[in-house]
Structure 1
Amino acid sequence: MRAGRLLSLLLLLQSRGRMTAQELADELEVSVRTVYRDVEALGSAGVPVYADRGPAGGYRLVDGYRTRLTGLTTEEADSLFLAGMPGPAAELGLGAVVAAAQLKVLAALPPELRSRAARVRERFHLDAPGWFRGGEGTPHVAAIADAVWQQRRLRIRYVRWAQVEVERTVDPLGLVLKAGTWYLVARTGTGPGPADGGRADDLRTYRISRVLELTALDESFERPVGFDLAEFWAGWSERFERRLYPMRVTVRMTPDGLRGARVLLGLAAARELRDVEPEGEWTTVRVPVESLEHAAVDLLRLGPEVDVVEPPELRERVIARIAAMAAVYGR
Structure 2
Amino acid sequence: MRADRLMTIMILLQNRGKMTARDLASELEVSVRTILRDMDALSTAGIPVVSEKGKEGGWRLLDNFRSTLSGLHIDDMKALFLFPSGKLLEDLGLNSQALDTREKLFAAIPNTYRNEAQTMWERIHIDASTWRQSEGKVRALKIVQQAVWESKKLRMHYEQANGERKERLVDPLGLVAKGSNWYLVALRNGELRNYRVSRIHYAKVEERIFDRPQDFNLAAYWEQSKADFIQNLPKYDVQVEVDPEIMQRLRFTGKFVQVIETEHQRDSQWLLATVRFHDEQEAIEFLLGFGNKLKVLSPKDLPDKIVALAKSVMDYYQSAE
Instruction: Compute the TM-score of the two structures, normalised by the length of structure 1.
Output: 0.63
The separation in 1 between residues aligned to 2:111 and 2:165, in whole angstroms, is 56
Q: Is residue 250–residue 284 contact of structure 1 (8 Å, CA) maintained in 2?
A: yes
Counterpart in the other structure of 2:264: 278
Tell me the equivalent position of 1:236.
225
The number of equivalent residue pairs is 241
With normalisation by structure 2, the TM-score equals 0.65
Aligned pairs for 1:185-196 (under 5 A) are 185-189=185-189
Pick aligned residue for 1:290 from 278, 281, 291:
278
1:211: which partner in 2?
Answer: 200
CA drift at 1:112: 5.2
Judging changes above 3 Å, is the alpha-carbon distance between structure 1 residues 278 and 235 closer, same or farther for their aligned structure 2 residues? farther
Which residue is 1:154 aligned to? 154
Alpha-carbon distance in 2 for matches of 1:277, 1:311: 18
| Runs of 5+ unmatched residues, structure 1 | 1-67, 71-79, 190-199
2:95 and 2:307 map into 1 onto residues whose CA distance is 54
Instruction: Specify which of 208, 213, 218 is matched with residue 224 of structure 1.
Output: 213
Query: What is the CA-CA distance between 1:158 and the residue it aligns to?
Result: 0.8
The residue correspondences of 1:25-44 to structure 2 (distance < 5 A) are none
* 1:32-71 map, 5 Å: none
Deviation at 1:217, TM superposition (A): 1.4
Q: CA deviation at 1:171?
A: 1.2
Q: Match for residue 13 of structure 2?
A: none
Where structure 2 has 5 or more consecutive residues not aligned to the other structure, the ranges are 1-65, 69-79
Conserved 8 A contact 1:265-1:298: no
AA aligned opposite 1:229? L
Secondary structure of 1:245's counterpart equals: coil
- Secondary structure at the residue paired with 1:312? coil
Partner of 2:295: 307
Residue in structure 1 matched with residue 250 of structure 2 by the alignment: 261
Instruction: Quote how far apart the aligned CAs of 1:269 are.
Output: 0.7
Distance across 2 between alignment mates of 1:109 and 1:136: 38
| Paired position in structure 2 for 1:172 | 172
2: CA distance, partners of 1:282 / 1:187? 52
CA distance in 2, matches of 1:225, 1:257: 53
Q: Report how far residue 325 of structure 1 moved.
A: 5.9
Structure 1 runs of 4+ with >4 Å offset: 323-329
Instruction: Provide the C-alpha distance between the structure 1 equivalents of 2:294 and 2:228, rounded to a whole number of angstroms.
Output: 28
SS in 2 for 1:264: coil
Which string of whole-angstrom CA distances, capped at 9 and with x for unpartnered residues, describes residues 232-291 of structure 1? 323333443455533223323343444322211426515x34xx4434534444332222
Residues 135 and 217 (structure 1 numbering): CA distance in 2 closer, same or farther, change over 3 Å?
same
Contact 1:82 1:98 (C-alpha < 8 Å) held by counterparts:
no
Mapped to 2, the partners of 1:69 and 1:95 lie a distance apart of: 30
Equivalence for 1:91: 91
1:301 deviates by 3.2
Query: Corresponding residue for 2:307?
Result: 319
Q: Which amino acid aligns with 1:107?
A: A
Shift of the 227–284 alpha-carbon distance from structure 1 to 2, 3 Å rule, reads farther
1:86-144 Cα deviation digits (max 9, x unpaired): 22112112223333321211111344533433332222211111121232221222332
In the other structure, the counterpart of 1:113 is: 113
Gap change, CA 1:147 and 1:317, over 3 Å in 2: same
TM-superposed CA distance for 1:214, in Å, is: 0.9
- For residues 207 and 303 of structure 2, what CA distance do their matches in structure 1 show? 58
Q: Percent identity?
A: 30
User: Larger radius of gyration, structure 1 or 2?
Assistant: 2
1:168-220 CA deviation, whole Å, 9 max, x = no partner? 1111122121121111111112xxxxxxxxxx1x1111110110111111222
